[in-house]
Amino acid sequence: MNASLNEKLRTVKWGEYRIGDLFERIKTNKLPYKADELPERRQGQYVLPCLTSSFNNQGLNYYAPREGATVLRHVISIPSNSDVYRAYYQSREFTVLSDAYAIQWKANDIITANQYLFIVMCINKVTDLPIYSYKNKLGGWNVVKNKHIKLPQNSNGIDFGFMDSFIAELEAERVAELSAYLKVTGLDNYELSQDEERALAEYEKTTFKTYRLTDIFNVKNTYNILSRDIVENSGTVPYLCSSTENNAVSTYISYDEKYLEKGNCIFIGGKTFSVSYQEKDFYSNDSHNLALYLKNSNAKTKKIQLYLATCIYKSLAHKYSWGDSVSNSKIQTDELSMPKKDGKPDYKAMELLISAIQKLIIKDVVSYTNGYFEAAGKYR
């Protein structure tokens, strides 16, 4: 965040407000489904995103039929039974499935998306704290409604105009940084090669085979560096935890190098089964975490391992939970499904597919940044 925005936050007048005086919990119909009974993608009548306590994808990881569901939009969601109590502004339609709830602005006047986004940040200042976890729960709405947040204010009360302008300026700054990054790195070149086009077109015809995971990877437990023993933001080496957010990076630290784990591997958060590719060397917060090193040295590219991380998650995530977590001994007999060619893992197909998907995503990002600048009258 630039100095101008920091200065605005420092100089604005702040007032303290009870959350329950500003928001009310929305009553929703109880749905007759369990999460594992619902698809993770839209299909048929299953088109409405469902909110759970997950902090993946803002808690929206399953789809339910619209029939009988309470359809919500333009509200804030908060988990009630989670490791992370992060509130999110939900701009699109969804419904509540379990272990979470939604709140809406109580006053008759309708607040804007930018105002909701600003208030969400303020709510997370009192709910999304390291002291709260699955074992030390924050509590539900009866607890949250009595917490107080600070909001900008003027002589008329809450300063909604400040919120709008601050979020708009913050967005403009981030879009400008993104546009510059794409140009410097060359990622704004998103034209698909013939091989990449073919990989996308023929993916539905891909043949998969099941392989024992230990035939593909060498598996080791990571070292155990407790959070109480580190100093946050004290260095440049990633300190990993079992979170699915921020690629499992909790902070960056300086620490004893004898506990350093080699990068260019797939990292599994042992207690939550979060799976990520780690390009750089790192430190780990728990010896239950696993580092998987690809045996085929010719296939140890970032794109291939990004594909393999998804294979591992899709093949094994259903097996493991907080109460029955993965371990080095358990994973020795696990299997994963991978594309094959001539009976062997088809690493070339994996790399081409990830390359094509990356370019398609970059194309959308470039279109967004160009559209933003055009709308703002800044497009050149």
CA distance 13 to 89: 24
Tokens of 197: 């086009």
* Below-50 pLDDT ranges, the chain: 378-380
CATH topology match: 3-164 vs 207-345: yes
Q: What is the pLDDT of residue 128?
A: 87
CATH (residue range 207-345): 3.90.220.20
Which stretches of 186-242 are DSSP H helices? Answer: 194-201, 213-216
Q: What is the pLDDT of residue 224?
A: 95
Closest CA to 196 of 299, 296, 303: 303
CB-CB contact of 122 with 151 (8 Å): yes
CB-CB contact of 209 with 343 (8 Å): yes
Q: What is the pLDDT of residue 378?
A: 46
Closest CA to 349 of 186, 184, 237, 209: 209
CA distance 135 to 222: 23
242, with CB counted inside 10 A (0-12, 13-18, 19+), is buried
Q: What is the pLDDT of residue 365?
A: 84
The architecture that CATH gives domain 3-164 is: Alpha-Beta Complex (3.90)
pTM exceeds 0.85, yes or no: no
CA angle in degrees (0–180, nearest 5) for 201-41-335:
75
Residues 6+ apart with CB under 8 A from 312: 213, 266, 268, 275, 292, 336
Q: What is the pLDDT of residue 57?
A: 86
Tell me the per-residue pLDDT of 42-69, one tens digit each, with 9 for 90 and over: 999 999 999 998 877 899 999 999 999 9
CB-CB contact of 300 with 348 (8 Å): no
Q: What is the pLDDT of residue 323?
A: 79
Closest CA to 187 of 12, 362, 10: 362
CB-CB contact of 127 with 100 (8 Å): no
Helices 3-11 and 160-185 cross at an angle (nearest 10°) of 160
CB-CB contact of 302 with 350 (8 Å): no
Domain boundaries, the chain: 3-164, 207-345
Residues 6+ apart with CB under 8 A from 359: 190, 191, 192, 196
Tell me the per-residue pLDDT of 312-337, one tens digit each, with 9 for 90 and over: 999 999 899 877 899 999 999 999 99
Instruction: Compute the residue count for the chain.
Output: 380
CA distance 285 to 224: 5
Residues 6+ apart with CB under 8 A from 124: 86, 87
